[in-house]
C-alpha cells in the first residue's frame, strides 16, 4: 500500500491547482537539504515531489481521484485509454530534484543567499550576493479574438490574468489577479502581436515570461477582409441580374450605400466601380496603417 498524495502535500481532496502549488512550494522548501535537519526529510522530499508530479497533472489527478494509486500505477482504465496514447501505468521517474528544478526555475532557490558550497555569503555593505544565473521562461502566447468593428474603430480590451507573485520573504509566493489593458488601434491585422514584458509567474532565480496576445479576426456576418479591403457578397435575383439594379451595402460605420450595377452580372463577377481610398473617415474599406497616417482600403462587391 502506497501513501496518499493528498496527505503527502497536507491538502484536502478538494484542493485546487493553486493550493497544490502552494503546498508543494512550502513543503519542498521545508524538506530541502539546505533547510532540513531531520534525517527523514530526504524521503519526504521525494514523496512530496511524486505527489506534486501526479496532482499537478490534470489527467493523472483525474485517474488517481477515481481509481486511486492502484488504478494509476496499474494502467489506464479503458474509459481513459480511448482518449490517450499513453496506456501504461504511471511510474514516478524518481528524480525529486528535477521536479524541484522545474518548479522553481533553478536547482537552488537559495542561490541568492548561499555560495556553491552552501555557505551563507554576506558582503561588506550588508547585501547578499546571488550566484545563480537567472533564466527567463519562454513567452506565453494567447489568441485575442477581435471583430471587424473592433479593428475598424479601435477599442480597449481588459483581460484578467492570474499569476504567481513572490512575497517579501523571496521564498514563498501568492497567486494574484492582474488586469492587462490592450488599446486596439484601428487597422490592426490578424497576426498583430501585443507583448506585455515579464508579466508571467514570478519565482526565485527566474525572469518572468513575457505574455503575448496574437490578434485573430472573428468571422463577420457581412464582410470578408483581404488585406485592407472588405468584400461583400450579394445575392441578386436572375431578373435583376439581367438588367440594371442597385445593391445596398451597410458599412461598418453604419452608413447605407446604394451601389448601382449597370452591367449584366455574371456569376462571381466583381464590381470594380467602388475603388476609393480615404485618408480619414468616413470610408468603407478596412482601415490600415500607412506612412503619413490612417488610410482605408477598397470595398468590393461580389455577386452571386
Q: In the chain, where are the structural domains located?
A: 5-104, 136-217, 223-303
81 pLDDT band (50/70/90 cuts)? low
Is beta strand 245-250 parallel, antiparallel or unpaired with respect to 229-234? unpaired
**What was the pLDDT predicted at 131?**
42
| Stretch 234-255: mean pLDDT | 79
Average pLDDT, the chain: 75
| Stretch 1-30: mean pLDDT | 88
**What was the pLDDT predicted at 285?**
46
235 pLDDT band (50/70/90 cuts)? confident
Among 52-61, 68-77, 202-211, the range with the most confident prediction by mean pLDDT is 52-61
Among 81-90, 91-100, 153-162, the range with the most confident prediction by mean pLDDT is 153-162
**What was the pLDDT predicted at 277?**
28
Instruction: Give percent above pLDDT 70 in the chain.
Output: 69
| Stretch 85-98: mean pLDDT | 76
295 pLDDT band (50/70/90 cuts)? very low
- Fold agreement between 136-217 and 223-303: yes
267 pLDDT band (50/70/90 cuts)? low
The position carrying cell 518572468 is 208
In CATH, 223-303 is 3.30.70.2740: no
Lowest mean pLDDT among 78-87, 212-221, 247-256: 78-87
Asked if 23 and 10 touch (Cβ cutoff 8 Å), the reply is: yes
160 pLDDT band (50/70/90 cuts)? very high
| Distance in angstroms (rounded) separating the CA atoms of residues 189 and 148 | 10
| Stretch 210-237: mean pLDDT | 87
283 pLDDT band (50/70/90 cuts)? very low
**What was the pLDDT predicted at 79?**
55
CATH number of 5-104: 1.10.287.110
**What was the pLDDT predicted at 77?**
52
Residue 288 has pLDDT above 50, yes or no: no
Residue 169 has pLDDT above 90, yes or no: no
**What was the pLDDT predicted at 270?**
46
| Stretch 194-222: mean pLDDT | 91
**What was the pLDDT predicted at 67?**
82
Q: Name the residue with higher pLDDT: 165 or 267.
A: 165
Residue 111 has pLDDT above 90, yes or no: no
Residue 44 has pLDDT above 80, yes or no: yes
**What was the pLDDT predicted at 78?**
56
CATH number of 136-217: 2.60.260.20
Q: What is the pTM of this model?
A: 0.48
**What was the pLDDT predicted at 266?**
58
Amino acid at each position: 500500500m502506497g501513501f496518499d498524495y493528498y496527505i503527502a502535500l497536507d491538502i484536502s481532496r478538494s484542493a485546487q491547482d493553486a493550493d497544490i502549488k502552494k503546498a508543494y512550494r512550502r513543503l519542498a522548501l521545508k524538506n530541502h537539504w539546505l533547510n532540513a535537519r531531520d534525517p527523514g526529510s530526504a524521503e519526504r522530499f521525494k514523496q512530496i515531489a511524486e505527489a506534486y508530479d501526479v496532482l499537478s497533472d490534470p489527467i493523472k489527478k483525474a485517474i488517481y481521484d477515481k481509481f486511486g494509486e492502484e488504478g494509476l500505477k496499474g494502467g489506464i482504465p479503458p474509459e481513459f485509454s480511448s482518449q490517450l496514447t499513453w496506456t501504461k501505468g504511471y511510474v514516478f521517474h524518481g528524480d525529486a530534484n528535477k521536479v524541484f528544478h522545474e518548479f522553481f526555475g533553478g536547482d537552488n532557490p537559495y542561490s541568492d543567499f548561499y555560495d556553491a558550497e552552501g555557505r551563507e555569503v554576506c558582503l561588506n555593505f550588508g547585501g547578499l550576493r546571488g550566484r545563480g544565473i537567472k533564466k527567463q521562461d519562454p513567452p506565453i502566447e494567447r489568441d485575442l479574438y477581435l471583430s471587424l468593428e473592433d479593428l475598424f474603430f479601435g477599442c480597449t480590451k481588459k483581460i484578467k490574468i492570474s499569476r504567481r507573485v513572490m512575497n517579501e520573504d523571496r521564498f514563498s509566493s501568492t497567486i494574484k489577479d492582474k488586469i492587462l489593458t490592450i488599446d486596439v488601434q484601428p487597422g490592426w491585422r490578424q497576426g498583430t502581436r501585443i507583448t506585455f514584458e515579464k508579466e508571467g509567474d514570478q519565482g526565485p532565480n527566474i525572469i518572468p515570461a513575457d505574455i503575448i496576445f496574437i490578434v485573430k479576426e472573428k468571422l463577420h456576418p457581412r464582410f470578408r477582409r483581404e488585406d485592407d479591403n472588405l468584400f461583400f457578397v450579394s445575392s441578386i435575383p436572375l431578373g435583376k441580374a439581367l438588367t440594371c439594379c442597385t445593391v445596398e451595402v451597410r458599412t461598418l460605420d453604419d452608413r447605407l450605400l446604394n451601389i448601382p450595377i449597370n452591367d449584366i452580372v455574371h456569376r462571381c463577377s466583381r464590381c470594380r466601380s467602388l475603388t476609393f481610398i480615404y485618408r480619414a473617415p468616413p470610408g468603407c474599406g478596412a482601415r490600415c496603417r500607412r506612412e503619413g497616417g490612417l488610410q482605408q482600403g477598397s470595398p468590393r462587391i461580389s455577386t452571386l
